[in-house]
Amino acid sequence: KISAAVAQRLKLMSGLDISERRLPQDSRFNVKVRDHPIDVRISSMPTQYGETIVMRLLHRAGGLHQLDDLGMSPEMLQRFSSAIHRYTGMVLVTGPTGSGKTTTLYAALNELNKPDCKIITVEDPVEYRLDGLNQVQVNEKIELTFSRVLRSALRQDPDVILIGEMRDVETAQIGLRAAITGHMVLSTLHTRDAASAPLRLADMGVPRYMVAYSLQAVVAQRLLRVNCESCNKPRQPDAQEVQWLRTVGCDPAAGRIMAGSGCQHCNGSGYAGRIGIYEMLEMDNELAALANSDDPGRFIAAAEQRMAGQMLRDRAARLALTGKTTVSEAMRVTAQLED
C-alpha cells in the first residue's frame, strides 16, 4: 500500500497519468532541497507486482561543471579545450549510459558560452538548463524530431550545436554536414572506446568520407568509484588482480594498492564518490585517410598506437596503483574493453 501511494504521488508531481499502470511513462518535475533547485527525471514501468519508479536527480547548479572539474589530465584538458575552440568540425563524447557524457558536454558548453557565441542544443530531454543557450527538447509525438530541429537550427545562424545523441543515420548526417560547413558540433555516441566511434558512424550508414573529414576528436570516458577516505586501507591484490595489472603494463609492487573496508561514512560500501577516466583521439590527415578506406583494422591499429599508454585501461590502472580506487573497480569498469 505504501509503495503504491508513493508511486501515485510521484506520478502526480511529474504530471503523469496516474490511471495508466499498463504502459511505461517518463516525465520530470522540479523541487527545492535546502534552497537548491533540483530537476527530477522520473521513469515508471509496470511489473508483475506493481509499478517500479526510478528517479534521476540533477542538481541544476552543482551538476554543471567547468572543464577543470572533470578530472582530465592537464595535457588532455588542453587538447580537449583546443578541439572545442576550433569552432568547426565535430567532437564526440562516447561511453555507455551513465558514464558522464552529458556532464562533459555541458562543461564544454560552459566554456564556450559567451555573448558573441550562439549555441543551440537539441536534446531529449533537456538535461540541464543553462542561461545564454537556445535549448530545444524534441517531441516525437508532434514529429519534432532530432533531424527536423537540426534542419531548422542550421537556419538560425548558430556557432555551436549540441546534439544530445546520434540516434540514427539522418541525424548523424545532418550533424556531420553542419560540422563540414563551418559549425562546431558536439554530440554523444554509444561506443566502447574512442577508436570505435568513426567506424560506428560508418556502420550506421554515414558515408565514410563525411566521417573522416568532419570529425575533429573523440573522447571516450567511464566513471570509477573512489575509495572512501575514512576507511581506505592498504591491501594485497589477489592473483587475478596482479595478472590484470601486469597485462596493462603495470608493476603491482610499484603501487599503493588500497581498498575501503566499509564504514558509516560510505554506508559500508568502501566507496565514496566517483571520478572520470578519459581517452582522447584527435583526427589528423593520416587517420582521416584510414577512416575513409576499406580497412577498419588499420584504422583501429593506428588510432590505438596514437593513444598508447593513455587509454582507458591505462588510466584506470594508474588510479588503482595510487590507491584512489580498487583494482577490482578498475577491472570492472574496463571489462568491456577486453573483448
In a domain, 255, yes or no: no
Cα angle 310, 314, 315 (rounded to 5 degrees) comes to 80
Lookup: cell for 224: 570509477
Domain span at residue 203 reads 67-220+278-307
Nearest Cα neighbor of 191 from 304, 337, 290 is 337
Same domain, 284 and 139: yes
Mean pLDDT of 135-159: 93
Query: Would the pLDDT of 288 be above 80?
Result: yes
Environment class of 284 (CB within 10 Å of its CB; exposed 0-12, middle 13-18, buried 19+): exposed
The reported pTM is 0.88
Please confirm whether the linkage preceding 37 is cis (ω < 30° from 0): no
Q: What is the pLDDT of residues 223-251, one digit of tens each?
A: 999 999 999 999 999 999 999 999 999 99
In a domain, 225, yes or no: no
Q: What is the pLDDT of residues 170-190, one digit of tens each?
A: 999 999 999 999 999 999 999
Same domain, 196 and 289: yes
Task: Report pLDDT for 111.
Answer: 95
Same domain, 21 and 92: no
pLDDT > 70: percent of the chain: 98
Task: Report pLDDT for 60.
Answer: 65
Euclidean distance between CA atoms 109 and 105, whole angstroms: 6
Task: Report pLDDT for 312.
Answer: 97
Query: Tell me, what CATH number does 165's domain have?
Result: 3.40.50.300
The position carrying cell 566511434 is 197
Task: Report pLDDT for 225.
Answer: 97
Mean pLDDT of 298-326: 96
User: What are the helix (H) ranges across the chain?
Assistant: 2-13, 74-84, 101-112, 146-154, 169-180, 196-204, 208-214, 239-248, 285-291, 296-306, 312-321, 327-333
Q: Average per-residue pLDDT in the chain?
A: 93
Residue of higher predicted confidence among 338 and 154: 154
Query: Would the pLDDT of 339 be above 70?
Result: no
Q: Do 175 and 161 meet the contact criterion of CB atoms below 8 Å apart? A: yes
Same domain, 182 and 87: yes
The total domain count for the chain is: 2
Euclidean distance between CA atoms 272 and 295, whole angstroms: 44
Query: Tell me, what CATH number does 24's domain have?
Result: 3.30.450.90
Query: Would the pLDDT of 48 be above 90?
Result: no
In a domain, 239, yes or no: no
Mean pLDDT of 297-326: 96
Same domain, 112 and 190: yes
Nearest Cα neighbor of 79 from 276, 311, 282, 223 is 282
Task: Report pLDDT for 158.
Answer: 96
Query: Would the pLDDT of 203 be above 80?
Result: yes
Q: What is the pLDDT of residues 59-110, one digit of tens each?
A: 766 556 889 999 999 999 999 999 999 989 999 999 998 899 999 999 999 9
Rg (the chain; Cα; Å): 22
